[in-house]
Structure 1
């Protein structure tokens, strides 16, 4: 059979299976990217707001944690609602709330406005990580579940990295930085709305999602608990590490480099999440257990580099810490999503995605806040050391769990 025959046979097979063109799988990931651009777009602007409003590093981490609170609250509802009513009834209101957040950010005159904007952003992100990522899998179809996990995961981290870079460049080069940044983001969200409206999603069967309360701690079907636990064990330390770099990274840059440049701050965050994106393509052919163990080890190395940076004033160590943290999150996230995609039926997938993210974002909200206030009390060096050491230990424990308990519990195909 010639190469043309193979491609033709593959196309006909896809048509017989009712698969949509592959471009729609990529387009389905765009709303995830657009909302995650918003999730971190404020990062380079905090130095500016901090100077204007006069709040401390502890207050800064509280503002960041309000995003986590909104996200976690959203995850208690959005996954179940999405599985019962469909993806679009969750995604469209989430995108509308994200647009409201842009308006509040653009006109913020105090800490309360920043808190409200971050809270709204968190709610929107919670809906997207459950319904949006499940929508990518739904559009992809049963034969492309590995591709769906890869694209959904990469859409999240790429958007998270693009946001601060875009905000840093726009705020340094154009007038009215906060207005300009969030006007551009509103335009991106408008295109995401257009994609969702046209997204070729299959109609869900409401009874397949199961019964129970509409608002509840999300979970997974019987038999998938170990896969969820293994994913959280590696994903949680990884996303907590990147959350810490995002919340206090500007302060570290100011201390080590003596610069408050929003472009430099945005570039650091972009490098971190670009690493998270690229590493997922690099490891997609590896076994899932290998991806999880490597992700845990990388997170631990990132935290050791961060501790080294604050003790020695080493800029190269800080420059290494960010991409290492990003790579750790990327591999933990890909491994966790791949495990769920391989074991959870589509009718429960949004709730399963929500459960994975609850397990990841809960420590990502609590630990950086604790580290922020500890840094205010005992200094940035001591606070960062305590945080980095604890997080490295958690990452090593998660990797050990994936290595030992994962034998026989992780499907032996690849993570792609």
Structure 2
């Protein structure tokens, strides 16, 4: 409602803040609710359903907004009216779900998420791979349209929305493709995909190639999808059901914080040294983070093998 009626930047800022709160609730408590609904015998399937639904929705949003903004009158109102209808539908569905009642909160209502001791390694390894992945997709969402317009000559909003959709379609599809693999393999593949994405991004800027930029976006989606699915799967296997939402929240905080800070920093840096140089610097930082994440997963797996 605020987005549709905003008359100032301040109102838009409040709307963005509330959107962030809603997303945080959906990806933390919502994913835990899906895992609860799946039951103890289908934890991996439930993690797949929760993770793939999140990234598929993230892809449909930019595509829908891009198409509506180019084809319908009053796009800034129409888009958000459609979103309100979808949210009302979701509210009805959630209200009718028969979910188990929690044991009640412990401590202050607003607090830093705490993870049960047995699940801390799973959360940390998930963050190590998920954070670089979602940071790379956040870059495509935030600065991708500028790169398309100023470097690659594509100014149509449908192009930007379509690119985001394909990126998250890759994130969705890869999760179904790897659902039978070990968590270690999934996380290592996620780190590799994010690394490949950022290297491809650098090449796309160097050669002003739309095809390479699209490939970088798809690889970024694959990296996020693998990191998110691998992390959620590891968490659901290691954390008690009554602490699952808090563990999910911890992984999301660890992922979304760099995903918010680094693309914003890249934007300021691009204003200072140029879009190409700023994006290249961002890509190098994310590559380093993804490589560190992959090394941590490999070392942990080796330590577990030696202990076994």
> How high is the TM-score relative to the length of structure 2?
0.96
Equivalent residue number for residue 85 of structure 2: 187
Q: 1:185 to 1:325 in 2, by over 3 A?
A: same
Equivalent residue number for residue 30 of structure 2: 132
Equivalent residue number for residue 267 of structure 2: 372
User: Is the CA contact 1:256–1:315 (under 8 Å) kept in the aligned structure 2?
Assistant: no
Q: Which runs of 5+ in 2 are unaligned?
A: none
Equivalent residue number for residue 233 of structure 1: 128
Cα displacement string for residues 195-244 of structure 1 (whole angstroms, at most 9, x for unaligned residues): 011101122233xx6x3333221021012111111100000000000001
Q: How many residues matched? A: 305
Larger radius of gyration, structure 1 or 2?
A: 1
Q: Distance in 1 between matches of 2:232 and 2:238?
A: 10
Cα displacement string for residues 329-369 of structure 1 (whole angstroms, at most 9, x for unaligned residues): 00000000000000111111110100000000111111111
Q: Which moved more, 1:366-375 or 1:400-409?
A: 400-409
The question of 1:362 aligning with 2:260 is answered: no
Q: Distance in 2 between matches of 1:166 and 1:195?
A: 22
Q: Distance in 1 between matches of 2:122 and 2:302?
A: 11
RMSD after superposition: 1.3
Q: Distance in 2 between matches of 1:278 and 1:409?
A: 30
Equivalent residue number for residue 73 of structure 2: 175
The question of 1:105 aligning with 2:3 is answered: yes
The question of 1:142 aligning with 2:40 is answered: yes
Equivalent residue number for residue 390 of structure 1: 285
Equivalent residue number for residue 294 of structure 2: 399
User: Is the CA contact 2:55–2:171 (under 8 Å) kept in the aligned structure 1?
Assistant: yes
Please point out which of 151, 156, 163 is paired with 2:61.
163
Equivalent residue number for residue 202 of structure 2: 307
Equivalent residue number for residue 155 of structure 2: 260
Please point out which of 135, 145, 169 is paired with 1:274.
169
Equivalent residue number for residue 44 of structure 1: none
Cα displacement string for residues 252-299 of structure 1 (whole angstroms, at most 9, x for unaligned residues): 000233232110010010011000000000011111000000000000
Q: Distance in 2 between matches of 1:372 and 1:205?
A: 44
Q: Distance in 2 between matches of 1:250 and 1:111?
A: 20
Equivalent residue number for residue 45 of structure 1: none
The question of 1:222 aligning with 2:120 is answered: no
User: Is the CA contact 1:306–1:318 (under 8 Å) kept in the aligned structure 2?
Assistant: yes
Q: Distance in 2 between matches of 1:115 and 1:309?
A: 32
The question of 1:118 aligning with 2:16 is answered: yes
Secondary structure at the aligned position of 2:117 is classed as coil
User: Is the CA contact 2:118–2:239 (under 8 Å) kept in the aligned structure 1?
Assistant: no
Q: Distance in 2 between matches of 1:257 and 1:380?
A: 12
User: Is the CA contact 2:132–2:289 (under 8 Å) kept in the aligned structure 1?
Assistant: yes
Secondary structure at the aligned position of 1:407 is classed as helix
Equivalent residue number for residue 189 of structure 2: 294
Secondary structure at the aligned position of 2:302 is classed as coil
Deviation at 1:399, TM superposition (A): 0.7
Runs of 4+ in 1 over 4 A off after TM superposition: none
User: Is the CA contact 2:152–2:209 (under 8 Å) kept in the aligned structure 1?
Assistant: no
